[in-house]
Structure 1
Amino acid sequence: VYRAHDARLGRDVAIKLLVRDSEPALQRFLREARILAQLQHPGIPPVFEVDQHEGRAYLAIHYVAGTSLEEMQLSRTRAAEVVRDAARAVQYAHEQGVIHRDLKPANMLVDAQGRVFVLDFGMAKAIDAMPALTETGEILGTPAYMAPEQAQGFAADERSDVYGLGATLYRLLAGVAPYQGRDPLDVARRVAATPPEPLPEVDALAGIVGRAMA
């Protein structure tokens, strides 16, 4: 993803280039463009343009000058507020029939005004288009934050996004991801087989995380 300036309209944009030159990759890329185009929410950066340049497809999205949750250390109260705001954007997407499928701290940004944005809908898909299993049985998402059913190769649904929000709050509260492992496959195996290490029951937030990741 690159930052660029649209001289015609006088605004900065984020340019997302298609890396892999294959038909499946192009279709996923175009699906993200279509999904973003139908989502109109303050917490979801809008898409401005999808086109090709020198044979490479690109997506121009509203540029968010902010910091990802992966890079932030927040108080417990602020962590809860940020994930709450992200959850509102995700709920809106669900109401429009779209699930994200890859919610994690790196895909959530906070700008200088404290506004929260949910990014990277490249894995998203329409709810009514979801099969019971992924088309190839592949694992889609980031293992440390994916729901157990995703780690087992089953298709994600709205509950999987709730899990991703809970796992993100877990990371903000504990300072580490819910699962660790030697490599992504090892992490996915742990996610599928065992519950995460519980957070200390110091306040209601631990219970919220537990319910979201149940």
Structure 2
Amino acid sequence: MPPKAIGPYRVLETLGSGGAGTVYRALDRRSNDEVALKLLSTGGPSLDDRAARRLAREFETLADLSHPNVVKVFEAGVHAGQPYLAMELIEGLTLRHYLDVSFNDLHTPTPTPASRFPLTLRRTADDDFGSEDGPDDDADDASEDDGTFDLNAFAEEAPSEDLASFHGAGDDDSDSDGMPGVDPRRAAPRAPQPPRPATPKMADLNRPERMGKLKDAMLQVCEALAYIHGHGLVHRDLKPSNIMVDDDRQVRLMDFGLAKFLADDAGITADGKLVGTYRYMAPEQILGEPLDGRSDLYSLGVILYELMSGRPPFDAKTPHELWRQVLETEPPPLLALNLHGDPQLARVAHRLIRKEPDDRFQTAEEVYEALSE
């Protein structure tokens, strides 16, 4: 049973739940605006007032961020010993469902990457969340009318600690071809679910419309990462479910910083659990080494690899086997899995998932330039 009110917000419904907390659709009683309200989980008893206020103050710094490709955080507070964040409510799809080959909207026109602004200009753009007209408003309206875009904005990958997310232990988070899907248990319970992705055929993965959408989305993610890295933040849990695409095809990066909150919570890490989603973890994150923006770039490479090939670069039945592969083995060449894949995107993906941070692209700006070639 959700709480009726959290701070100055009246809770309307539950949108989803995951390892970092529960997200509600809520109404700001001061302005009458709807927001997405994330009540953060501490994995145990409520924090004492001093610790909760400290965490809320840390998250208040997120409210100073303003970028078209980053979900806007309005404020942070504390409810019953649990920190919460009030955020922009996004209606859209996760990146995986946006690029799902079974959807019927792939025929709609897609902005070509060449038409995007240079990264340096877009990073200084005003706080204008989707006010510009899209490349084809009629096509977008049609997508909205047929239910393609809905409120599954906060569906999440299966939790990292759930062994059922690995092949052989269950099929909640994977399709028959090994391509991870969104765990239906994490979806907004009152919103219609998009259909589970069908087993993709390589010809479908390589369709020009889909590849145009993929490349444009990757460019926008690079812009978001360049912005948050420039503010000294590391996402730490970049994955398709933390990348939303709205009905104007605007990409939004969300939940950055929450993994650090979980990692800093002794109640969660006392038993030695890693924080993050195993499939997307960089080697240095598995080893518990200090992280910087290059760890996020590794995660971006995993996302690009699996969206191009229909399978993740490393696949295992247990977390320890997965970690061994990430640390010790090389992934199959992407173009051996997808013979007609885009060679430049494949080169970018492989460089991003190199084991040593120094061997990867060093900044999101560099990735942006490589994708634009």
TM-score range, shorter chain: 0.7 to 0.9
1:127-206 equivalence runs, <5 A: 139-200=274-335, 202=341, 203-206=343-346
Of the three residues 212, 223, 228, the one matched with 1:93 is 228
Q: For 2:291 and 2:57, how far apart are their aligned partners in 1? A: 17
Question: Highest Rg: 1 or 2?
Answer: 2
Q: Label 1:35 to 1:196 Cα distance change in 2 as closer, same or farther (>3 A).
A: farther
User: Which residue in the other structure is 1:11 paired with?
Assistant: 33
User: Which residue in the other structure is 1:110 paired with?
Assistant: 245
Q: Give 5+ residue unaligned stretches, structure 2.
A: 1-22, 102-209, 262-268, 355-373
Q: For 1:136 and 1:107, how far apart are their aligned partners in 2? A: 26
Quote the offset at 1:92 in angstroms. 0.7
Of the three residues 62, 84, 91, the one matched with 1:58 is 84
Q: Is the 8 A contact 1:15 1:59 kept in 2?
A: yes
SS of the residue corresponding to residue 311 of structure 2 reads coil
Q: For 2:55 and 2:95, how far apart are their aligned partners in 1? A: 24
User: More strand by proportion, 1 or 2?
Assistant: 1
Q: For 2:37 and 2:74, how far apart are their aligned partners in 1? A: 10
Q: Is the 8 A contact 2:238 2:299 kept in 1?
A: yes
Q: Is the 8 A contact 2:283 2:326 kept in 1?
A: yes
Quote the offset at 1:61 in angstroms. 0.8
Q: Label 1:156 to 1:88 Cα distance change in 2 as closer, same or farther (>3 A).
A: same
1:63-82 equivalence runs, <5 A: 63-72=89-98, 73=100, 75-82=210-217
Q: For 2:320 and 2:54, how far apart are their aligned partners in 1? A: 23
Deviations 1:110-169 (A, max 9, x none): 0000000011120258xxxxxxxx999763321111111112221221111111111111
Q: Is the 8 A contact 1:35 1:98 kept in 2?
A: no
Deviating 4+ runs (over 4 angstroms): 22-29, 134-138
Q: For 2:214 and 2:54, how far apart are their aligned partners in 1? A: 32
Q: For 2:288 and 2:349, how far apart are their aligned partners in 1? A: 23
Q: Is the 8 A contact 1:110 1:117 kept in 2?
A: yes
Q: Is the 8 A contact 1:169 1:209 kept in 2?
A: yes
1:41 matches 2:67: yes
Q: What is the TM-score of this pair, normalised by structure 2?
A: 0.50
SS of the residue corresponding to residue 48 of structure 1 reads strand
> What percentage of aligned pairs have identical amino acids?
39
Quote the offset at 1:199 in angstroms. 0.6
Q: Given residue 63 of structure 1, which amino acid in structure 2 is its aligned partner?
A: L
Q: Label 1:37 to 1:174 Cα distance change in 2 as closer, same or farther (>3 A).
A: same
Q: Is the 8 A contact 2:66 2:72 kept in 1?
A: yes
1:208 matches 2:208: no
Structural RMSD (CA): 2.8
Q: Is the 8 A contact 1:69 1:109 kept in 2?
A: yes
Q: What is the TM-score of this pair, normalised by structure 1?
A: 0.83
Q: For 1:163 and 1:51, how far apart are their aligned partners in 2? A: 32
